[in-house]
């Protein structure tokens, strides 16, 4: 990616003065650029004119009351919404100079570069080793057995799971505890070596200790990956995210540096939400 490119340029600014950007230093490279994104479930509009820039090797948190469209937006980034037949999308989601929604964009190739971790851990009904090695093998990232072993070990180490499972790699992934399963899913995602990892409330089904482990993990993973996470938990956003976007009723109300947003929110709605008046 072109690191000299400014985060924003004048012509990128949409007509409506949406608070979609941050007057940030240009040290962060752009990862995904979203312009005028609209999405409908049948006739219900779920996302309205979203504009947002997601920065490389940062954690961006999407917060907001339930049903505000944050998960739907997340799934636009790797086109998981394609799986729902009634969904219809308009607008630009740009990554690496390509329009993600373009006809000629292969959604399989996109997902190869934009991995995802889900709300509930969903390891495959295979061994721990197979869970991690399956996708890299299919993607031809590794072919030799030794490389594969190495890759699995590296991914499991990166996910902070290696020490716990190194002696039982052949046991089924489902035999692990919930928190371990979720880390296995993260290991599975990073083994593909994506650019972006999307996390859809990755800790909502987990206990507090597992949650803390995964939050630590996110902090470490951002050295290698761009992370976009949805959370219903504001404290979590404040703890792990560099940037935070506040969603409300399908719109982005405010998007800013997390510290700024939580100390001096620009919008009344944001302030009400983070101070707990609704949500």
Partner 1 sequence: MQTNQLLLIFCAALLLLGLLAFFAGRSKATRIRSAGTAMFAQPDQYAWFTVLSTAGPALLVSALGAFVLLLMGANIPTLYLLAASLVVAAIGLLVSLNQVKPDFHARQAMERVIRMILASAALISIFTTFGILFSIISEAVRFFKMHSFWEFITGTTWSPGASFLAAAGRGDGGGAEFGSVPLFAGTFMITAIAMLVAVPVGLLSAIYMSEYAPSKVRTVAKPVLEVLAGIPTVVYGFFAAITVAPLIVTLAGFLGLDASYNNALAPGIVMGIMIIPFISSLSDDVINSVPDTMRQGSLALGMTKGETIRDVVVPAALPGIISASLLGVSRAMGETMIVVMAAGMRPNLTANPLEDMTTVTVRIVAALTGDQEFESAETLSAFALGLVLFAVTLVLNLVSVLMIRRFREKYRVNNL
Partner 2 sequence: MSHTFDDISQQLKHRHRKSTRLKWITMGSLGLAGLFLVLFFADMLNKGLPAFQQAYIQVEINYNEEAETDGRQAFDEELIPIISRTMVRVIPMELRNNPDMIGTSTNEWVLATSEVDQYLKGHRSSLSPEERAAIDERVEAGQVDMRFNTTFFTNGDSKIAEYAGILSAVIGTVMTMIVTLAISFPIGVMTAVYLEEFAPDNRFTQAIEININNLAAIPSILFGLLGLAIFINFFGVPRSSPLAGGMTLALMTLPVIIISTRAALRSVPDSIRHAAFGVGCSRWQVVRDHVLPLAMPGIMTGSIIGLAQAMGETAPLIIVGMVAFIPDAGVSFTEAATVMPAQIFTWSGEPEQAFVEKTAGGILVLLTILISLNAFAVVLRKKFERRW
Q: Are 47 and 26 in contact (CB under 8 A)?
A: no
Which residues have C-beta within 8 Å of that of residue 96, sequence separation ≥ 6?
1, 113, 195
- Identify the DSSP state of 262: H
- DSSP SS3 for 200: strand
Closer by beta carbon to partner 1, 59 or else 189: 189
Q: Taking CB within 5 to 8 Å according to partner kind, which of partner 1, partner 2, none is near residue 96?
A: partner 2
Taking CB under 8 A as the rule, which mask of x and - marks residues 183-222 in contact with partner 2?
----------x-x---------------------------
The residue within the footprint of partner 1, chosen from 192, 253, 261, 274 (CB under 8 A), is: 192
The contacts found for 270-275 with CB under 8 angstroms, 24 or more apart, are: 270/246, 273/63, 273/64, 273/65, 273/234, 273/246, 273/248, 274/234, 274/246
The least CB distance from residue 116 to partner 1, in Å, is 4
Q: Taking CB within 5 to 8 Å according to partner kind, which of partner 2, partner 1, none is near residue 195?
A: partner 2
- Distance from first CA to last CA of the chain, Å, rounded? 38
Q: Taking CB within 5 to 8 Å according to partner kind, which of partner 2, partner 1, none is near residue 105?
A: partner 2
The residue within the footprint of partner 2, chosen from 106, 150, 207, 216 (CB under 8 A), is: 106
Q: Are 61 and 245 in contact (CB under 8 A)?
A: yes
The residue within the footprint of partner 2, chosen from 10, 140, 167, 223 (CB under 8 A), is: 140
Closest CA relative to residue 115, chosen from 221, 23, 234, 227: 227
The residue within the footprint of partner 1, chosen from 189, 196, 199, 252 (CB under 8 A), is: 189
Give bridge partners of residue 44 from the DSSP assignment.
41
The least CB distance from residue 76 to partner 2, in Å, is 17
Specify the DSSP element, H or E, that contains 135: helix 128-138
Q: Are 168 and 162 in contact (CB under 8 A)?
A: no
- DSSP SS3 for 77: helix
Q: Does 223 bind partner 2 (CB under 8 A)?
A: no
Closer by beta carbon to partner 2, 26 or else 138: 138
Residues 39-98 that bind partner 2 (CB under 8 A): 96, 98
Q: Tokens 């719109």 map to which residue?
A: 251
The residue within the footprint of partner 2, chosen from 83, 108, 146, 209 (CB under 8 A), is: 108
260 C-beta neighbours (distance < 10 Å), count:
14
The count of residues interacting with partner 1 (CB under 8 A) is 28
- Listed ranges 23-31, 76-84, 93-101, 218-226: which one lies at the site for partner 1 (CB under 8 A): 76-84
Distance CA(43)–CA(26), nearest Å, equals: 39
Taking CB under 8 A as the rule, which mask of x and - marks residues 108-147 in contact with partner 1?
xxxxxx-xx-x-x-xxxxx-------xx--xx--------
The least CB distance from residue 237 to partner 1, in Å, is 22
Q: Does 158 bind partner 2 (CB under 8 A)?
A: no
């Amino acid at each position: 990616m072109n690191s000299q490119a400014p985060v924003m340029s004048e012509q990128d600014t949409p007509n409506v003065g949406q608070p979609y950007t941050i007057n940030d230093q240009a040290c962060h490279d752009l990862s995904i650029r979203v312009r005028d994104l609209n999405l409908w479930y049948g006739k219900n509009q779920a996302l309205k004119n979203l504009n947002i820039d997601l920065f490389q090797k940062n954690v961006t948190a999407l917060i907001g009351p339930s049903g505000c469209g944050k998960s739907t937006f997340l799934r636009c980034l790797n086109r998981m919404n394609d799986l729902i037949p009634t969904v219809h999308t308009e607008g630009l989601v740009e990554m690496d100079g390509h329009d993600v929604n373009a006809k000629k964009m292969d959604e399989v190739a996109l997902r190869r570069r934009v991995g995802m971790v889900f709300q509930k851990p969903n390891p495959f009904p295979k061994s721990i080793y197979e869970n991690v090695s399956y996708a890299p093998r299919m993607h031809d990232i590794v072919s030799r057995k030794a490389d594969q072993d190495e890759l699995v070990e590296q991914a499991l180490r990166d996910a902070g799971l290696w020490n716990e499972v190194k002696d039982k790699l052949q046991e089924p992934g489902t035999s692990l505890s919930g928190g371990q399963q979720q880390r296995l899913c993260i290991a599975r995602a990073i083994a593909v070596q994506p650019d972006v990892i999307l996390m859809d409330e990755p800790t909502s089904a987990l206990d507090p200790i597992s949650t803390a482990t995964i939050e630590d993990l996110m902090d470490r993973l951002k050295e290698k990956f761009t992370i976009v996470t949805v959370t219903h938990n504001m404290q979590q956003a404040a703890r792990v995210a560099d940037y935070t976007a506040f969603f409300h009723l399908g719109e982005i109300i405010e998007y800013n540096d997390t510290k700024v947003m939580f100390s001096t929110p620009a919008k009344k709605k944001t302030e009400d939400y983070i101070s707990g008046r609704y949500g």
